[in-house]
Structure 1
Amino acid sequence: MHRLVLSLAAALLGASSTALAQDGFSWRSGAPELSLGDGAVRLTPVLRLDADAGSYWDQDTAEGFRSGTNIRRGRVGLEATLPQDFEAAVVWDFGSSRPGNAGSLYEAQFAWSGLGWGTIRVGAFQPAHMLERAGSSMDLLFMERAAMTNLATSVASGDRRLAVGLEAHGARWTAAGYLTGGDINVPQEWGQRGVAARVTALPLDGAVQAQLGGNVAWQFRPGSQGSYNEAGFGDSPELRVDSREFLDTGTVDADNVWAAGPELAAGAGRFYGQAEYQWLFLDTRDGTRNGEAWYGAVSYTLLGEPRKRDAKAGVWKRPAPANGFNPARGEWGALEVAGRFSSADLRDGPVQGGAQRIWTAGLNWYPAGWMKVMLNYQNGRIELADENRDFQALGLRLTFNL
């Protein structure tokens, strides 16, 4: 590692003295790029906007979910490809999963891929711990990840997580493991310590591609709101225009927090499907309290190129326009329909966090590789100790990604 740092420093110094005639702007992979040192250093801007609007109705109790709008993601930053197989990224996010809580550091990471078969990553980033977290949010089937994913990744991964890890891959397998801390933007969580890992294998790789996998997360030193040995599970419905959470265990005394489970993903032509299951554990002073969560989702690409597997990440990338967007020639980009059922149950003994079940139907339009329009319909039910809450919702998202 000492030699690599010295090589990096020497290469950067050399790049800074290279004649400007060898440098310049270009367009690479759909984004502008600044090359320095005859291509030894490449800088690419990060620009991302997810603008959401949502409406709730058919709620049978007072104080229900509120309709509204939200800048879900508003990311601005810079990615750098450096000599000696190094990469770096710094990204700020002016959007939020909680309306009104915008403006925080989203990513500050440094990575080295000189192993060839893997990458060492350190900093604040999103560990590739689960199927819905291993790829870009641009590739999600729906506006939001399933509640199961958010519950499980809250243990030791998720956005903005302080971490160091190794991500490895082959043509038909992936493996990733991380040692993690808390959210870089929440000083009260810096005392958290945990581990997260994911493995996948592709036993079928023909007309049908089928991938099996599993993951685990363990917070062996819980910490919440500045206090050690405190933890809990909670999540909003799968739409982010209201900050209310009825699915919530609250904060409880816990020595350990666990989440683990299997995953399945498969593609066949224009069809794609994925499913995940998680066991959730809170080791409290009164014994271990269990929860469970799962989802199943399917999609079909109506127009454009269907989803394709990314062997490096072990995920299926979003559909792509076959010939761009040109209505005069009958070219409308890519169009996808999708459906999902998700379930989460956080009720066990004195821990009564409720249960949530949501049916979601989605329509995704990709006019270009850098643009996405999503329309989601939800029909959900939340079961609490003293009442049940039924709701329907309609969500719309407009995404631009450079």
Structure 2
Amino acid sequence: MDAQTSVRELIFLERSLPFAFVPFRQIGVGLYDKALEERATWALSVYRFPTDVFGDTAGDSGYGFSTRETLLLYDDDRSTIHVGGGYTYNRPATEVARLRSPPEVGFNQLDFRATDFPVPFFVDSGPIATDSYQVINAELALTRGPWFAQSEVYFARVDPSTGSGLNFNGAYAQVAYALTGETHPYNPASGAYSRITPNNDYGPCGLGAWEVAGRWSRLDLTDGAVAGGVMNDLTFGLNWYLNKYTKFQFNYIHVFLERPAGVDSEADVLALRAQLDF
């Protein structure tokens, strides 16, 4: 669900830590449709894997498969309840799986080039020689007037070329409250929620829409011989929507990093974004 929410609609500056498990922006073909009077969605796709951020593929043999199904259980005025789930199976052409993530400020977990990034990866499984890996997830979200809540849980299984299987996991839970009374509308086409639209745009007759939000996010990449680390993020967000097209966002992120060697650490991140889109 987090991946299906457009970056323009995100409540926080970036997606949650378990996004590292998602085979995002791969080149392939997909099928999608709605059902039950647009209360349900299904989608499946096959693609080359991995594809890096430039659209390049590594070799000719890699491929992947992903599917997601959702259901809007309840929809009454400004209240909704959404459930869903997904599954992905991937055989990398590189014969290597690598799962990693920085704190929630910038993501590039599937780039197989030797690229340096401004924000380092806090947790990193390192290259794992493997024929395939798979991920399953479940999602739950709801709205009630100005309240919005969303959560997901992920379980990943990597099958190394030698040795026993590796199990990784991640989860997040977030909640938001619109101080000015707006609600997040449900988008039946994507099975996800859109941003709020101010009841009164910023100007002589209004202050726009104001929203506060909080999120806990976790990614665990330690199992067996792989000591990738465990990261927990606590994020506070403040959003100001001037109108339908313009918003300002502030995030404070406190990071807890558990290192396998026993040397734990913490970090603080302050981030701002001004966004104009159409």
TM-score by length of structure 2 reads 0.89
Aligned residue among 3, 22, 40 for 1:173: 40
User: Structure 2 vs 1, CA of residues 304 and 366 (structure 1 numbering), >3 Å: closer, same or farther?
Assistant: farther
Aligned to 2:237: 362
Aligned to 2:14: 144
How many angstroms does 1:186 deviate by? 5.3
Q: Distance in 2 between matches of 1:243 and 1:373?
A: 22
Q: Distance in 1 between matches of 2:199 and 2:84?
A: 31
Aligned to 2:102: 236
1:296 and 2:173 aligned:
yes
Q: Distance in 2 between matches of 1:306 and 1:246?
A: 34
How many angstroms does 1:261 deviate by? 1.3
8 Å CA contact retained: 1:380, 1:390: yes
**Structure 1: segments with no counterpart, 5+ residues:** 1-130
Aligned to 1:377, the other structure's residue is in SS state: strand
1:336 and 2:211 aligned:
yes
**Structure 2: segments with no counterpart, 5+ residues:** 107-116
Aligned to 1:214: 85
Say how many residue pairs are matched.
260
Q: Distance in 2 between matches of 1:217 and 1:274?
A: 21
Instruction: Flag the structure with more relative contact order, 1 or 2, with Cα contacts below 8 A and sequence separation at least 6.
Output: 2
How many angstroms does 1:190 deviate by? 5.3
Aligned to 2:27, the other structure's residue is in SS state: strand
Aligned to 1:269: 145
AA of the residue aligned to 2:97: A
Q: Distance in 1 between matches of 2:59 and 2:207?
A: 47
How many angstroms does 1:183 deviate by? 2.2
Q: Distance in 1 between matches of 2:97 and 2:8?
A: 30
AA of the residue aligned to 1:320: T
Aligned to 1:189: 58
Aligned residue among 161, 164, 177 for 1:287: 164
Q: Distance in 2 between matches of 1:276 and 1:315?
A: 12
How many angstroms does 1:139 deviate by? 1.0
Larger radius of gyration: 1
User: Structure 2 vs 1, CA of residues 229 and 272 (structure 1 numbering), >3 Å: closer, same or farther?
Assistant: same
Greater strand share, structure number? 1
User: Structure 2 vs 1, CA of residues 186 and 316 (structure 1 numbering), >3 Å: closer, same or farther?
Assistant: closer
AA of the residue aligned to 1:215: G
Q: Distance in 2 between matches of 1:304 and 1:162?
A: 40
User: Structure 2 vs 1, CA of residues 304 and 270 (structure 1 numbering), >3 Å: closer, same or farther?
Assistant: closer
How many angstroms does 1:138 deviate by? 1.2
8 Å CA contact retained: 2:145, 2:181: no
Aligned to 2:8, the other structure's residue is in SS state: helix
Q: CA RMSD in A?
A: 1.6
AA of the residue aligned to 1:230: V
Greater helix share, structure number? 1
Q: Distance in 2 between matches of 1:377 and 1:262?
A: 27
Aligned to 1:81: none
User: Structure 2 vs 1, CA of residues 336 and 196 (structure 1 numbering), >3 Å: closer, same or farther?
Assistant: same
Aligned to 1:255, the other structure's residue is in SS state: strand
How many angstroms does 1:305 deviate by? 3.0
User: Structure 2 vs 1, CA of residues 179 and 324 (structure 1 numbering), >3 Å: closer, same or farther?
Assistant: same
User: Structure 2 vs 1, CA of residues 166 and 286 (structure 1 numbering), >3 Å: closer, same or farther?
Assistant: same
In the TM superposition, what whole-angstrom CA distance separates every residue of 1:194-250 from its partner, at most 9, and x where no partner exists?
01111001122225311110001110x213xxxx31111101110138331120001
How many angstroms does 1:188 deviate by? 4.6
1:163 and 2:28 aligned:
yes
Q: Distance in 1 between matches of 2:258 and 2:209?
A: 38
Aligned to 1:109: none
Q: Distance in 2 between matches of 1:145 and 1:217?
A: 18
How many angstroms does 1:281 deviate by? 1.3
Aligned to 2:159, the other structure's residue is in SS state: strand
8 Å CA contact retained: 1:229, 1:253: yes
8 Å CA contact retained: 1:169, 1:313: no
Aligned to 1:303, the other structure's residue is in SS state: coil
Aligned to 2:113: none
In the TM superposition, what whole-angstrom CA distance separates every residue of 1:292-320 from its partner, at most 9, and x where no partner exists?
10000000111263211111111111010
Q: Distance in 2 between matches of 1:206 and 1:322?
A: 20
Q: Percent identity?
A: 28
TM-score by length of structure 1 reads 0.62
8 Å CA contact retained: 1:232, 1:282: no
